[in-house]
Amino acid sequence: MADEQKATFEQSAEFHTFSGGALRVDLRQLTLTDADLRLSGEVTPETFMAIGREMAFNLLPQVRNPYDAATFREDINIEIELKLRPALLNAWREQGLTEIEDMLQELFASDTNAFYMQSELWLLTSAVQTYIANVEQRLFSKAGFQTLWAKELETDPTPQELIAQYLDDQGWNYDSPEDGVVQVLTGTDAGRWALLIDVDDERQLVQCLSVLLDDVPEARRSQVAEYLTNLNYNLAFGNFEMDGEDGDLRFRTSMLYGSSPITAGMIASLIELNLGTMGDFFAEIQKAAWG
């Protein structure tokens, strides 16, 4: 087993999710081995439910044991363990950051704390709740689970691998042409459209495009352009756009990942926000374009 360094401390930290939510974790210990760096602490049951809903700390359905039926009580805090993504730990070591005290200082330094408190940078490896099973006999019991993230990760998956994993998990049929742009035919009860997902490795950019199958008629393009301008004004994420020459209309969401590792949760949010927004306005767009 790899040699361990441990640092015990007490500090409340606020981690932020990809969707903008905040998760309070009362941290207790930092553990460093040759293989990984782990934070241990506890959260309230309400916070743990939020972690599950938002798939924070990369707590995806596929990383939990499908046969695990652990349930938690609502009156006792839950102990969690978080593992820093391997790419970041390796980057620290390349910069000469090898001692646990230096890593602890880096995590909570005022100029870097906001970056390291992004939940996407951490992998939830376990969640355990300890409670008294028998008061008279002072017997304690535990309920919980361990995720696949508990196993050592050698490399981070590529954006292309995460996209394929997401689409496979949804059971969707999709095409991956030579240009690398993934194509999916999707839609709602209101109609169908094409979803295009493109990864630009050079620019380190992932883009999702929901594209109408038919071009907007020339006679309606000015009216539709004005409608889309007003629509975009109220959007918090993404934008609708139309080619004035041929009437090609689409909704675009994009994400720069840079040197930070991209995660399955980030890919899922990007795609689902795109599809959800197009679905919300599809019927109105159809009416504006075709009456």
| pLDDT averages per 10-residue partition of the chain, 291 residues | 81 93 97 93 96 94 68 90 94 93 92 90 93 62 84 70 89 80 92 95 92 96 96 94 96 84 86 95 95 81
Nearest-angstrom CA–CA distance, 84 and 123: 6
What's the confidence (pLDDT) of residue 136?
64
What's the confidence (pLDDT) of residue 165?
87
Look at residues 150, 177, 205 and tell me which one is the last residue of a structural domain. Answer: 150
Pair (23, 80) in one structural domain: yes
Pair (133, 170) in one structural domain: no
Pair (67, 116) in one structural domain: yes
Q: What is the DSSP letter of 242?
A: E
SS3 176: coil
Domain count, the chain: 2
What's the confidence (pLDDT) of residue 35?
87
Name the residue range of residue 32's domain: 5-150
Look at residues 150, 174, 197 and tell me which one is the last residue of a structural domain. Answer: 150
Q: What is the signed CA dihedral for 177, 181, 187, 192, rounded to 10 degrees?
A: -60
Q: Which two tokens stand for residue 187?
A: 């839609």
Look at residues 128, 150, 172 and tell me which one is the last residue of a structural domain. Answer: 150
Pair (133, 222) in one structural domain: no
Pair (116, 169) in one structural domain: no
Nearest-angstrom CA–CA distance, 14 and 56: 13
What's the confidence (pLDDT) of residue 49?
94
What's the confidence (pLDDT) of residue 150?
85
Count of C-beta atoms within a 10 Å radius of residue 247: 17
What's the confidence (pLDDT) of residue 1?
38
Pair (146, 168) in one structural domain: no
Pair (95, 164) in one structural domain: no
**Is the separation of the CB atoms in 84 and 115 below 8 Å?**
no
Pair (184, 206) in one structural domain: yes
Nearest-angstrom CA–CA distance, 155 and 85: 9
Pair (13, 140) in one structural domain: yes
Pair (54, 77) in one structural domain: yes
